[in-house]
Amino acid sequence: MILLKILTFLSAFLLFQVELVIAKLFLPHYGGSYLVWGACIVFFQAVLLAGYVFAHTFLGRLGTSSYLKAHLGLLFIPCLFFPISNSHLSFNTYNLPLVVDIFWRLIMTIGPVFFVLSTMSLVTQAWLSSSNLKRAHNPYELYAVSNLGSFAGLLTYPFVFEQFLTNTQQLQIWRILYLFLVFGNLLAWGLIKTKNTHHQTTATPGVEVVSPNALWRWLLLGAAGVVMFLAVTNIITYEVAPVPLLWIIPLGIYLLAFILNFKKKPWCPLWIEKYIGPVLGIAALMYFLPQRHFLPVLVVIGLLCVFLFVICMYTQQQLIKSKPTFSAQMTLFYVMISLGGFFGGILTSWVIPLISNTLIEYLVGLLLVALTIKGKYVKKPQANLIALNLISIILLTLAFAAWPQWFQDYHLWSFALVWVVVWFSFLVFSQDKRILVAVLTGIIVMTPILEPIWHHAHFIIKQRNYYGIYEIYDNKSGIRALIHGTTLHGVEMVEESQRRIPLGYYSPISPLGSLLIADTFQAKRVGVVGLGTGTLSMYSKPNCAIDYYELDRDVYKLASKYFWYLSSAPGEVNVILGDARLSLKNAPDASYDLLAIDAFSGDSIPTHLVNKDVLIEYRRKLAPRGAIIFHITNRYLNLEPVLAKIAEDAHANVALKDVKDGGVNMRSIWCILTWDDDRFLKLITDQDWQPLDEDPNNHVRVWTDDYSTILPIINMGELATSLKAFKFFTW
């Protein structure tokens, strides 16, 4: 039994590790975009489903003992794909759509090993149930061990493997551990004797066929959990605190709920099932609360994660309660859970971003949970129940539509009031599942109307794609703004006579604006990675062209249609669409006197655009006396030590300039690298740039394509400061 637990844990650990390693390896080759992660996630779920279906089918046809012989052979197939060929990680050369190209390369690199590992959990559970071991009657506890292995793989990656090892070293360690897994399976096959048990595929004599209702319920529960953890990840990324590391928290919570419910002695508080209706109501309210920016970031993250944990505990509890009576149906049980997870991933990562301009997947997840609630129907509701439902609908309307208008500032009693109202209303609705489902559906339908009320802003346009959510609105001061998630990408005066004034991070007194006005580098051509609203176009001249490199073509459409900078440019302006690192390869060498790197998705860092290897490529396109300037304004990440190390490694002069808010300027921090000593001295003496001297306490390793980690540069003080300054008991 211990050996089977070790094999189950190790296979799940390796499964999660290879997901994270390979996805990170792919990022530099596809622009580091959200689309890459989305494509990888859906691929992993698809192969996991394929592995489950394969194991389920052949365990049923061959029986456990016969299948184990084939399983041992399968374990050696991935060894043919080690090491991963560099040609499989090269750029998109097949002229395929991006998603198709990612799928193809994933199949050619880790497809076989991922497929084999995905069968392991089912195989070890079938192995146990067919053996004469003491715990053979409860193979489901190995599923808890599997999720514990996944949880360990998830947590150790950013804190251990990513921080201390290069990608190449990570793969080498992974291969060694995989060989241990193969050896462990051979050892178990020799030590553990099994009966040739056949697992149910269609109909097994003496075993009751699983009902269609049970199959649908397993499917819905599997989908609901996946949609919820992915949706919470999206909210944290786009609406609250776009720190990349935070995505592991929702996934960790999801896995923890599996561990607690599938372990030897399942644990789940009874009140969760009893009050799941009101919990869904408060969770729906939590979708809108972050938009008011009342609460500190850490509090909002904490609340979202608490409700995610409770909801995942409910879905996993329902799964373990509805598990098949006969072990012969076990593999079918896992196939349906996996199928639900696959559909949930497709819905959240691919479908909803194309059909909705909001993070509606969170509310869709709550609706899926409501659909799984069993046996709550009132055939002939009494008059008092009808009256209670009507009163609850009125109260709920006031809570979701009037409360954000009445309370402009944070007050503890107002929060307590709205929570009590929503809890009471959903307690009434949950007496009849149909009403609960109808109310949640109504909230989803009304979201486009409710969001502007909570935001206190009426958007000119709100658009979503695989890179995030873009919002354009005019404020009371006559300024038009482009927002991506929680990050301001550019502003412009609405008044026609003032539209030519560059504002925000690129104003005439900003570090980059003043540098272009002073013309320290005598620029004839400037390259800019990241378009935003095209503000820097105002610095173009008849003898100074500006080339923008923009990954997202929707940004170009928005900047062209709703802002005037591009059309009003006094000089030549070109926009090159596609990933900057790929597009720059087509630019002539030594063509740019100044290269500005300003490509951020939210507050996250595209590490493939800020490292030692890409600096070599930048320098190749840079004129001999030119400079590279990085926009490093960031609330949660401190890039100064990273750029200091890169500059030190490249023997470049490096300086920093931080200009505070004031007038048309918004605070921004820029870091410049140049190899021209005379021009660098001029920056220091005449333009208030501060040299970044070597810091002996800077223990950050040089970032490369093979190594990067944001853990050492996270600014936890920024998060903690907002928490300390907040008055929780304001009445």
Assess if residue 673 is contained within a domain: yes
Separation between Cα atoms, residue 622 and residue 619, nearest integer Å: 5
pLDDT of residue 31: 55
Indicate the residue among 187, 202, 217 that finishes a domain. 202
pLDDT of residue 635: 76
Separation between Cα atoms, residue 266 and residue 321, nearest integer Å: 10
Indicate the residue among 141, 170, 202 that finishes a domain. 202
**Which of 177-191, 474-488, 537-551, 593-607 is predicted least confidently?**
593-607
**Tokens 């002996």 label which residue?**
696
What does the pLDDT look like over 448-471, one tens digit per residue?
889 888 887 778 998 888 777 899
pLDDT of residue 93: 47
Phi, psi of 183 (to 5 degrees): -60, -40
pTM (whole model) above 0.75: yes
Assess if residue 40 is contained within a domain: yes
**Which of 201-210, 252-261, 555-564 is predicted least confidently?**
201-210
Assess if residue 476 is contained within a domain: no
What does the pLDDT look like over 97-155, one tens digit per residue?
666 777 788 887 788 888 999 889 888 888 888 887 777 777 888 888 998 999 899 88
Domain range for 632 is 497-721
Assess if residue 527 is contained within a domain: yes
Kindly report the number of other CB atoms within 10 A of residue 653's CB atom. 20
Please determine, for residue 86, whether its predicted confidence score (pLDDT) is greater than 50.
no
| Helix, strand, coil fractions of the chain, as percent rounded to 5 | 60, 10, 30
Assess if residue 454 is contained within a domain: no
Task: Please state, in angstroms and as integers, the Cα–Cα distance from residue 591 to each residue in 524, 564, 567, 628, following that order.
Answer: 9, 27, 24, 13
Residue 573's pLDDT band (boundaries 50, 70, 90)?
Answer: very high
Assess if residue 393 is contained within a domain: no
Number of domains, the chain? 2
What does the pLDDT look like over 421-430, one tens digit per residue?
999 999 999 9
Residue range 68-72: average pLDDT? 87
CB-facing half-sphere around the CA of 435: CA atoms within 13 A: 22
Could you tell me if 222 and 318 are in contact, meaning their C-beta atoms sit under 8 angstroms apart?
A: no
Question: Which of 62, 337, 329, 319 has its CA nearest to residue 208?
Answer: 329
Task: Decide which of 508 and 29 is more confident.
Answer: 508
Task: Decide which of 13 and 96 is more confident.
Answer: 13
CATH number at residue 524: 3.40.50.150
Assess if residue 21 is contained within a domain: yes
Please determine, for residue 242, whether its predicted confidence score (pLDDT) is greater than 70.
no
How would you list the strands of the sheet with 690-691, edge to edge? 573-577, 545-550, 525-529, 592-597, 622-631, 668-674, 653-659, 690-691
Residue 34's pLDDT band (boundaries 50, 70, 90)?
Answer: low
CATH number at residue 25: 1.20.1250.20
What is the phi-psi region of residue 293: left when phi exceeds 0, alpha when psi lies from -120 to 50, beta otherwise? left
Please determine, for residue 91, whether its predicted confidence score (pLDDT) is greater than 80.
no
Separation between Cα atoms, residue 510 and residue 669, nearest integer Å: 9
Indicate the residue among 150, 181, 202 that finishes a domain. 202
Please determine, for residue 66, whether its predicted confidence score (pLDDT) is greater than 80.
yes
Assess if residue 452 is contained within a domain: no
Averaged confidence pLDDT in the chain: 85
Please determine, for residue 95, whether its predicted confidence score (pLDDT) is greater than 60.
no
Residue 684's pLDDT band (boundaries 50, 70, 90)?
Answer: very high
Please determine, for residue 87, whether its predicted confidence score (pLDDT) is greater than 50.
no
What does the pLDDT look like over 322-379, one tens digit per residue?
888 766 678 888 899 999 999 998 898 888 988 888 889 999 999 999 999 986 666 6
